[in-house]
Structure 1
Amino acid sequence: MTDLSNASARQWPEPAAMLTLIKPITWFPPMWAYLCGTVSSGVSPLSRPGLVALGVFLAGPVVCGMSQAANDWCDRHVDAINEPYRPIPSGRIPGRWGLYIALTMSLLALVIGWQLGPWGFGATVLGVLAAWAYSAEPVRLKKSGWWGPGLVGLSYETLPWFTGAAVLSAGAPSGHVVIVALLYGIGAHGIMTLNDFKALEGDRQMGVNSLPVTLGPEKAAWVASVVMAVPQVVVIGLLTLWDRPWHAAGVSAVLVVQFWAMSVMMRDPKGKAPWYNGVGVGLYVTGMMISAFAIRSLGGA
């Protein structure tokens, strides 16, 4: 347990707290989506390993890490209720250091994005703007249980997928890539809704109208499950239409297991939402990569 009396006297951030602030555990989805994009492009990722590695680093530690720092700074009052021992409310990152870290990482993201060419830089600009629009006043889309998770889903899945495909192919991705990336981004709205369960009490007190707050845990869990499942069903139909039956069967298999996990979650939505985020999300992203391999030969280059 952190000694709050000592933490409150700090002038400089605690190094370990700075790593906690940018939440490495959250980096995986955009990194994975960027890799899905490179696979779906039709260009071998091994042919341009530098662009792949730089893009993965940008999508995860830099842009996603920056978004987490920005969110924690803008959410410091909510976190003081929900999780007072997090880096900013605990004082381990004192004063306005949380803001300075988020702004510095925003600039770093733009510098790195510039190295990925016009498509990579444009996507980076959108990612940085989306991160601040989600967390910061006066926009603060996080206040909405519909717009907030939707923006994050598109930013974490669709945008890095599109970017990976565009950077590797040095041009606009094919329609197949755009459609599948968009569908998985829409489905990620449900994942973000389940993630809001952990902040239910603080969100209610601070006027953040997440779906668990406005609909209640049971209805919110149903909405999240439907929003996650429907885009995957559409992907399965499209892969079948595009003559990729084996890939469609693979996505179907992981969706069936997700249905089982959803049924477990429904017994106790508030208690089981974190469990589902560990189990169901892994299955969801498995389907993403199966789909990426399915469309790589459909004119992605």
Structure 2
Amino acid sequence: MTSLTPCARARTLPEPAAMLRLIKPVTWFPPMWAFLCGAVSSGVALGPEWPIVLLGILLAGPITCGMSQAANDWCDRHVDAINEPNRPIPSGRIPGRWGLWIAQAMSVLSLAIGWQFGPWGFGATVLAVMGAWAYSVEPIRLKRSGIWGPGLVGICYEGLPWFTGAAILVSGAPGWDIVIIATLYALGAHGIMTLNDFKALEGDKVMGINSLPVTLGPERAARVACWVMIVPQLAVVGLIWSWDRPVFALAIAALILAQLAAMRVMLRDPKAKAPWYNGTGVVLYISGMMVASFALRGLA
């Protein structure tokens, strides 16, 4: 087992700035956006419900997603001590078992807030918390798999927040059309997470993380990721068209065409261009999510 730095043994209380870095604010946006998509798709007027919508956004982003980041960093602390010793835990700015305690406390906080949202909202929160720990903790550690790891993250980042946002607003189970669209976008997010794995390609090879870029190679993994992103969106277009919402279907189709153009650029050099695509093509993807949510809102 790798020893942490001397600073890790010297400090007794965590550094406030390091605590913020531990829960990684940059990762909060996807679940917050998905929750908002779910709220919009419910068809409920958002104006009178803004306090509960705001609380739900905080639950999806800073609290539950932040908890998942803390749990992941705690479970990866010995790996990070080798590869990224400046991270909050191996650097000692989060000393002792504080990383674990923060993750556990935020798990409890997530469940406590989720309880306020009724059985469906609470159930979705329970699944999100369980998923966060299953991704990182031994012996489950689904992040080792290039199939189950990105799939779980896609569900927890896109599908569950969307479902939760709709369930909270309708005070019950969302309609089957909302569940189908949320599921399709969660499946497509598997491809986004695969492209995100490119940044850790070398480290994953050393540490035995069998991401798709490791097992298939960058070129094949990038093509698989593109197919995984596009096919569910095509299904969304077909469904929304069949539900007599052609303008929304055409708007999503236009966003898909723009993604295909960005994919052509990315596929020329997947290893170098995957981060670029995450800053361009993913924006088009999540824009389609919001268009779909407004189409569902019209149906509601």
TM category, shorter: over 0.9
Amino acid at match of 1:235: V
Quote the Cα distance in structure 1 between the aligned partners of 2:218 and 2:88: 28
2:297 alignment counterpart: 296
1:268 alignment counterpart: 269
Structure 1 stretch displaced more, 78-87 or 60-69:
78-87
**Offset of residue 194 of structure 1:** 1.0
**Offset of residue 83 of structure 1:** 2.4
1:65 alignment counterpart: 66
**Offset of residue 227 of structure 1:** 0.4
Quote the Cα distance in structure 1 between the aligned partners of 2:83 and 2:265: 26
Amino acid at match of 2:113: I
Amino acid at match of 1:46: G
Structure 2's unaligned 5+ residue stretches are none
Question: Where do residues 171-210 of structure 1 align in structure 2 (5 Å cutoff)?
Answer: 171-210=172-211
2:222 alignment counterpart: 221
Amino acid at match of 1:105: M
**Offset of residue 217 of structure 1:** 1.1
Quote the Cα distance in structure 2 between the aligned partners of 1:273 and 1:100: 34
1:113 alignment counterpart: 114
Quote the Cα distance in structure 2 between the aligned partners of 1:204 and 1:65: 26
2:17 alignment counterpart: 16
Quote the Cα distance in structure 2 between the aligned partners of 1:250 and 1:194: 25
Question: Where do residues 42-81 of structure 1 align in structure 2 (5 Å cutoff)?
Answer: 42-81=43-82
> Aligned-pair RMSD on alpha carbons?
1.3
**Offset of residue 34 of structure 1:** 0.5
Quote the Cα distance in structure 1 between the aligned partners of 2:274 and 2:102: 30
Structure 2 contact 8–96 (Cα < 8 Å) conserved: no
Deviations 1:64-98 (A, max 9, x none): 00001111111223323432211112222122211
Quote the Cα distance in structure 2 between the aligned partners of 1:159 and 1:31: 11
SS in 1 for 2:56: helix
Quote the Cα distance in structure 1 between the aligned partners of 2:270 and 2:78: 26
Deviations 1:171-198 (A, max 9, x none): 1111110100000000000111111111
Query: How many residues of Structure 1 are paired with residues of Structure 2 in the alignment?
Result: 296
**Offset of residue 7 of structure 1:** 5.7
**Offset of residue 138 of structure 1:** 1.1
Deviations 1:107-135 (A, max 9, x none): 11011111111111111111100000011
1:255 alignment counterpart: 256
Quote the Cα distance in structure 1 between the aligned partners of 2:257 and 2:173: 33
Structure 1 contact 82–199 (Cα < 8 Å) conserved: no
1:86 is the counterpart of 2:80: no
Deviations 1:175-234 (A, max 9, x none): 110100000000000111111111112211111111111111111111111101110111
Quote the Cα distance in structure 2 between the aligned partners of 1:6 and 1:88: 10
Quote the Cα distance in structure 2 between the aligned partners of 1:98 and 1:275: 31
Structure 1 contact 82–202 (Cα < 8 Å) conserved: yes
Structure 1's unaligned 5+ residue stretches are none
Quote the Cα distance in structure 2 between the aligned partners of 1:89 and 1:223: 34
Structure 1 stretch displaced more, 178-187 or 43-52:
43-52
**Offset of residue 9 of structure 1:** 2.7
Percent of pairs with identical residues: 69
1:123 alignment counterpart: 124
1:234 alignment counterpart: 235
Structure 1 stretch displaced more, 74-83 or 211-220:
74-83
Structure 2 contact 263–277 (Cα < 8 Å) conserved: yes
Structure 1 contact 190–223 (Cα < 8 Å) conserved: yes
Amino acid at match of 1:24: P
Structure 2 contact 185–289 (Cα < 8 Å) conserved: yes
Quote the Cα distance in structure 2 between the aligned partners of 1:18 and 1:49: 29
